[in-house]
Structure 1
Amino acid sequence: MTLNVLYLAHDLSDAAIRRRVLMLRQGGARVTVAGFQRADNRLADDPDLVTIRLGQTSDGRLSQRAVAVAKAAATLRTRLTGIAAPDVILARNLEMLVVAKRAARLFSSRPAVVYECLDIHRLLLDDGLKGRAFRRAEAYFGRNAQLLITSSPAFINHYFARRSGLALSTMLVENKVLELDDALPRARPRRTPPAPGEPWRIGWFGALRCRKSLAILIDFAARMQGGVEIVLRGRPARREFDDFDGQVEAALHVVYHGPYRNPEDLADIYAQVHFVWAIDFFEEGLNSQWLLPNRLYEGALHGAVPIALAATETGRFLDSLDIGLTLASATADALQRQFQDMDDDRYTQLVTQLFATERSRWTTGPQECRALVERLAATTTAMQAQRASPAASPVRS
């Protein structure tokens, strides 16, 4: 029997939402998406996918998003009229977990609720009144969830097991690159050092939201006097920067090439750089310390050597595989020391070590997609069996 999934998406413009939808469908599920929109809807070009727009939200404006969530929850019955009754409601982020609680009540089958959390918002980690309030809200709206999906072991170890009020079974689904056709040849790309007179190129791709990273990279590029070029691509969170466009335009040896399609453009954009910046200070000491970012997997798959901070989950991950460049401190000085000694032999050694890892370490294929859907189906089956058992305690609404 085909599993029906209602995916509640916090941002229809997020490439990770599209990736999850593709995974679910590849795994054999039928998917309906209902979500908020912040920019272009990345699912709009799929005529076979039912997508329901719940409203407009703005990145970083929590009060506006709270109002939008309340409005969406109040009108959910009308918005979801006519869709196939879901077996599972997959809620991405806390705001959609709130919507999921309301959505689950609209269907007589009472679908299973699964909480997908791929970032830990700084307010959930706050030690003050706000933080406690947000953690209580997460515990309340997630108390009837059956499963937690997250992307890094450190999120489980440092937040969900220690600080959250949730007690859920967990499934780790890393931010790997989606490859849906096992039959395609998967030769590793040929990687060569720059030609004489050309710079080393470091790519910083994806969600560009870290002002500290931008400052470090601009300073470093200027110091290297043309020996290194910084290439930026993706969606800058301009509200996080004093003047993103002005800073980049004024910077020496730093270029911004705009957004790209994921996964369609990944091979091309990573082929144009030698290294990938896998350091983030957006939520320094918290989420940034624990995440395993998309660009880590994308760069490693396509032969761009990752640069990470040693005392982070990303740095420990790279060290466990004996690959990449890990820095004791992420400063322009530390980068300058690394790249003053960078030569063709050193780079070739780094690429050789990178390509010695199994390709599956960086990719999600059809087998993993089926495993995800099977886990969701098993969660639904277990919940139905519990409800059918005379000894089962009533499910709280």
Structure 2
Amino acid sequence: MKLAYFVHDLADPAVTRRVRMLQAGGAQPVVLGFRRTETAPEQVAGAPAVDLGRTYDGRMGHRAKATAMAALQAGRWKRLLAGAEVVVGRTLEALAMAEAARRLCGLDARLVYECLDIHRMMLGEGAKSRAMRAVERGLMRRADLLVVSSPAFLEHYFAPRQGVGSSLRLDTLLIENKPLELGGAPAGKRPMRAPGPPWRIGWMGAIRCRRSLDILTALAARRPDLIEVRIHGRPAYTEFDDFDAQVARAPNVSFLGGYVAEDLPRIYGDVHFSWAFDYMEEGLNSAWLLPNRIYESGRYGAVPIALAGVQTGRYLAERGFGVRLDDPQDLEAFLDALTPEAYARLRAALDAVPGEAFVADQNDCEALVAALSGRSGGLNDQYPDHSKATRLVA
């Protein structure tokens, strides 16, 4: 099955993982998208990649103009996309390009909207927010499938704000942000870092929460005997006053740069805990998302620490592992009281969760491609009120 995949950032590791899933499931993707890096990759996981230009974090006006220009010129991809059976847009801007390509290239293809975050602009009551929601509703009326990474996106946004399941009928699908493991059984027993202070906390992935940085650097400065912090990933520098300077000033805090999937066992195996707090869009997207790091933590043996009252905390509570704090300021007291024996019990609870809860495998890839193509059918039969998504990767 040929598939056109429109994305917001060709260099995003999560895009590479999804392309690999599509390929493993039997699809032949062509990837078209913007980039946040200086240079564009010619391929994504071996799939042809079409560079639509550079965009920037936080510059919504520039991104809107770039999206409009790409959509208006979508007819130029007619030969490249000929025969595509499915067109997927990963984010709203990508969905706009995907629908334009489907129409201008004359494709008889299913349209899929993949939504991994609900931007704060979509949630306001001003003219821009209302206009953006209207655009999204219009595009979703033409779509065949909505893919989300957390059921809370449906419960708190798509159902009550956009009418999915009532005035807007389309299938919904939950794809959790799990590491992808192909080609056989997962690796054996995960090593455990020797327990005891200073307790090492890893903050991995999209580094975009100013409050988290403040909490961790302040505690490390006050109690270098108690914690060490290792930061790995891609900082959103627009969200911080001076990320590099703040890290440099804090004892026992290190920023170790980006990483690739092959690094995950090493960077998670090097810490006791994984930081899974996010206050970037407090009470909104940050309360609803299920981040990559909770699955990576479980797979590679770092005990996640999260806020109890948000979707991430509920996920941990339902599965019986991790640390759930009512307030991040409780972290110091928790670590002060933590013994090696108590930490070993936390690790044992994590190790008791079946490994398939944390990884996507070959079967998941095949089921994903079947769902995108419409071959699985009846996705909403289990949840007719659309309050939850059908769980494909459970």
Residue-pair matches, total = 374
- The residue type equivalent to 1:88 in the other structure is V
Q: 1:276 aligns with which of 271, 274, 277?
A: 274
The separation in 2 between residues aligned to 1:52 and 1:305, in whole angstroms, is 39
Q: 1:359 aligns with which of 341, 355, 358?
A: 355
1:176 — aligned with what? 178
Deviation at 1:257, TM superposition (A): 0.5
The separation in 2 between residues aligned to 1:89 and 1:364, in whole angstroms, is 22
1:162 paired to 2:160: yes
The separation in 1 between residues aligned to 2:272 and 2:45, in whole angstroms, is 37
Spell out, residue by residue over 1:9-50, the C-alpha distance to the aligned partner (whole angstroms, 9 max, x if none): 111121111111000000000110000011167854658411
Deviation at 1:108, TM superposition (A): 3.4
2:385 — aligned with what? none
Task: Note if contact 2:4-2:81 (Cα within 8 Å) is conserved in structure 1.
Answer: no
The separation in 2 between residues aligned to 1:88 and 1:243, in whole angstroms, is 42
Give the fraction of aligned pairs with identical amino acids, expressed as a percent.
Answer: 44
2:365 — aligned with what? 369
Deviation at 1:227, TM superposition (A): 2.1
Instruction: Decide which moves more: 321-330 or 281-290.
Output: 321-330
- Note closer, same or farther for the CA distance 1:381–1:106 as it changes in structure 2 (3 Å cut): farther
Match of 1:158, SS state, is helix
The separation in 2 between residues aligned to 1:41 and 1:162, in whole angstroms, is 40
Deviation at 1:96, TM superposition (A): 1.0
Instruction: Decide which moves more: 306-315 or 34-43.
Output: 34-43
Spell out, residue by residue over 1:238-286, the C-alpha distance to the aligned partner (whole angstroms, 9 max, x if none): 111000000000112111101111x211001111111000010010000
Match of 2:328, SS state, is coil
The separation in 2 between residues aligned to 1:193 and 1:53, in whole angstroms, is 46
Q: 1:152 aligns with which of 144, 150, 169?
A: 150
Q: 1:378 aligns with which of 371, 374, 379?
A: 374
Deviation at 1:223, TM superposition (A): 2.5
TM alignment of 1:1-397, pairs within 5 A: 3-39=1-37, 44=42, 48-166=46-164, 167=168, 168-181=170-183, 183-194=184-195, 199-261=198-260, 263-331=261-329, 334-378=330-374
The separation in 1 between residues aligned to 2:353 and 2:186, in whole angstroms, is 17
Match of 1:171, SS state, is strand
- The residue type equivalent to 1:175 in the other structure is N
Task: Note if contact 2:144-2:171 (Cα within 8 Å) is conserved in structure 1.
Answer: yes
- Note closer, same or farther for the CA distance 1:102–1:185 as it changes in structure 2 (3 Å cut): closer
TM-score (norm 1): 0.90
Match of 1:120, SS state, is coil
Deviation at 1:379, TM superposition (A): 5.9
Instruction: Decide which moves more: 361-370 or 52-61.
Output: 52-61
Task: Note if contact 2:195-2:343 (Cα within 8 Å) is conserved in structure 1.
Answer: no
The separation in 2 between residues aligned to 1:327 and 1:30, in whole angstroms, is 44
The separation in 2 between residues aligned to 1:202 and 1:40, in whole angstroms, is 31
The separation in 1 between residues aligned to 2:151 and 2:322, in whole angstroms, is 20
Spell out, residue by residue over 1:158-191, the C-alpha distance to the aligned partner (whole angstroms, 9 max, x if none): 111111254221000000111112x245213121
Cα RMSD of the aligned pairs, angstroms, is 1.8
1:388 — aligned with what? none
Match of 1:221, SS state, is helix
Match of 1:363, SS state, is coil
The separation in 1 between residues aligned to 2:377 and 2:296, in whole angstroms, is 35
Task: Note if contact 2:110-2:373 (Cα within 8 Å) is conserved in structure 1.
Answer: no
- Note closer, same or farther for the CA distance 1:133–1:108 as it changes in structure 2 (3 Å cut): closer
TM-score (norm 2): 0.91
Spell out, residue by residue over 1:297-352, the C-alpha distance to the aligned partner (whole angstroms, 9 max, x if none): 10111110000000000101111122111000122xx1111000111101100000
- The residue type equivalent to 1:366 in the other structure is Q
